Structure 1
């Protein structure tokens, strides 16, 4: 196991610096602006033509290593985070291919490879500490298709807007008033709940509660991708978004259910962009509705009590009927200077049924800030600080306190040793340093109170190292 781990680590380093070398050979003397708030990418001429079609190619590789020391625990159950010191890692590599097959129609394909070992087999937390961990399934590298989709733009009257060359975007001039249709395999989060400051665990905050709303049970397979149809309507400063995505065959499963009229995840979002003193900001409201065969927590609780089934995943025994699961949230962000911005998210789900695709949270709030290093003469460095609180519905809480175990959490260890409920609270801070062109190295620290909503365990302090390259 140790030999495989270090082999993958060295492979990540080699891929990273090969990417950096390729960038150094291709990059010219153009603009020195970064492509996005926390991304290290700088001026990559990765567009060209193939068989007369405009094409682009990008790539990324990311290695994340996380560790924590022993923490206080009165007891541990089946789905508890291990109380002994532990190490976790993930490594991913992605290629982003794109081609413009018609004047306003692009196709994209993203093959991806991932390897990794999550803490405690990915149980014991609501807000997991590494956004890449959901894709990792062991030391052996897994290759798969992350995205394969078509995007078509219907321009209407309005101002001209240039969309710059980046991963999954060939340079394109569009109208400020337009309709965009995306169809195929992609992530729901590619379309919804975008954020300049808290979105991508490869270059920003790592915790799942900063990728999106933690209580947003968006439709996806176990790796976070799905297949579906999404539409976006841009009207100057307004954006309306809607989609229907395939749900998994089983909760948190790898295989998708193609009966799109029987099981699905629908979402709708309204976004208003604005400027305050020439500084950009926005506010958005997002709602979702899932339909799938799911267990109701009230039924699962009755099963535990009636059958003395404490310590079991009783939700598996009452998963018989189609259920609807809904939720709504609000997200706002605002640049305070050219280099500093703040954001906040809040979300609530109905909490009557088990988790379909994401993690175990029924309400969540997060706030934070992001800043780049211009003021200390390192404009490609970035720093972020956030705090979040995650909570459970009374239905899910009653099930766990009765001794039930769910997919990710459940600390039952015997009579009188179920969760002592408190909201899970997470503080996170990161610093990324641009070490060479388009390669960053970063440190991340997370302090977690009441892991998996249990005041009898923790706190846990997790330190992480990250290296990321784009080419």
Structure 2
């Protein structure tokens, strides 16, 4: 084990001890004035060699590879006045991704960042204010959690959130497939695969959202800053010129006394993006391979997603997502997927007398627009994919995991992923990735 990985182990132990000390102080309050939660997650992955007819600029390496990631986060919350909540999340990360985080539409580790590296990096992940105004009706309990203060809220309410956070903290929050630290790890299972939501290279942004809760319905909308350049770290502060807008309608229901939710989401991005068709035309005129970075201009991208989750019993849940974007221009902030469907099943350990364990299995099928396919076939590449040529087939993913609780607030997960047609190329793969995840949370 390397020195950097030894540092990761020490940091994980430190977070565990600190979490035991502080979390016990905040959980006794019915309505919390403050809370403090901590998490640490280490993910180790390995893939064996696989068959590849050729390799390009952004190909997944066909040779055996290992990778790891580590994150440690403090989630600190404070209630400065009635209805107000202020949160700050300092975070530390480090890691080495597979193939420099290239060669797949659905990346295998949702904890890997586009700016990750072997040296620990400390930064502020979130700093946001949430204000809630009650509108009457019945009340419901809110339990203490990460970036959530315990208390009672009215089922009819308006909530405004402003500040530095992740768009997916608010939108597309599927119960069974949303968190790489505790659930499925593949990027295509963390959110709608084709949802190119605004984010910097670490996955965070600045912006605001408003949510209107009316009994079983929620309507939410938000605007957030785009990165200054495609998949970059600095954000574009001209939020009235370049932005990521989204609107989502959610309905909670019961089937056979078991809870479920349906969500419909639409998004619209505005930024300086390169068009695949323009890049192809420019290459035909000037020679060479097409390059979207040479044809960037003011463009709009639109897309939508439909999400469903349903408990079948108290220990069995299912989910499904479907998403699409217009696929005319380059991926700007998430991953290179323009059509995606996924479905999965999660079993809780109560079925076998281990209530804090869980098992999950999911299937994903990702695709590209015809313009993007032509661009890759002509030798073009984007932020994550580009094999130099393309024998197009949809990228198909199977992921399965078992998460076992091994201590008071610590879990070990074994995860398996099988990816056919990596980066949508039938001439490469299939690829198998095995993972071990250590996670502690208080």
Normalising by structure 1, we get a TM-score of 0.91
Contact 1:329 1:346 in 2 (8 A): yes
SS at match of 2:69: strand
Could you say which residue in structure 2 is the equivalent of 1:316? 293
- Name which of 318, 338, 345 aligns with 1:369: 345
SS at match of 2:332: coil
Q: CA deviation at 1:162?
A: 1.1
Which string of whole-angstrom CA distances, capped at 9 and with x for unpartnered residues, describes residues 434-465 of structure 1?
00011000110000000000000000000000
Could you say which residue in structure 2 is the equivalent of 1:41? none
- Name which of 1, 11, 16 aligns with 2:7: 11
Moved over 6 A (4+): none
* Structure 2: gaps of 5 or more residues: none
Which string of whole-angstrom CA distances, capped at 9 and with x for unpartnered residues, describes residues 265-320 of structure 1?
0000000100112110011100000000111110011122333322x6x111111x
User: Counterparts of 1:226-375 in structure 2 under 5 Å?
Assistant: 226-310=205-289, 314-319=291-296, 321-375=297-351
Could you say which residue in structure 1 is the equivalent of 2:50? 71
Cα separation, 1, equivalents of 2:248 and 2:6: 42
Contact 1:20 1:436 in 2 (8 A): no
Which string of whole-angstrom CA distances, capped at 9 and with x for unpartnered residues, describes residues 302-352 of structure 1?
122333322x6x111111x21010001100010001001000000010000
Cα separation, 1, equivalents of 2:72 and 2:114: 12
- Name which of 85, 98, 103 aligns with 1:124: 103
- Name which of 381, 387, 395 aligns with 1:424: 395
SS at match of 1:168: coil
Q: Which moved more, 1:127-136 or 1:171-180?
A: 127-136
Cα separation, 2, equivalents of 1:57 and 1:91: 20
Which string of whole-angstrom CA distances, capped at 9 and with x for unpartnered residues, describes residues 126-175 of structure 1?
00000011255211001111000000000011111111111111112110
Q: CA deviation at 1:375?
A: 1.5
Aligned residues: 440
Q: CA deviation at 1:15?
A: 3.6
- Name which of 121, 132, 144 aligns with 1:142: 121
Cα separation, 2, equivalents of 1:406 and 1:307: 19
Cα separation, 2, equivalents of 1:307 and 1:401: 18
Q: CA deviation at 1:23?
A: 5.4
RMSD: 1.6
SS at match of 1:149: strand
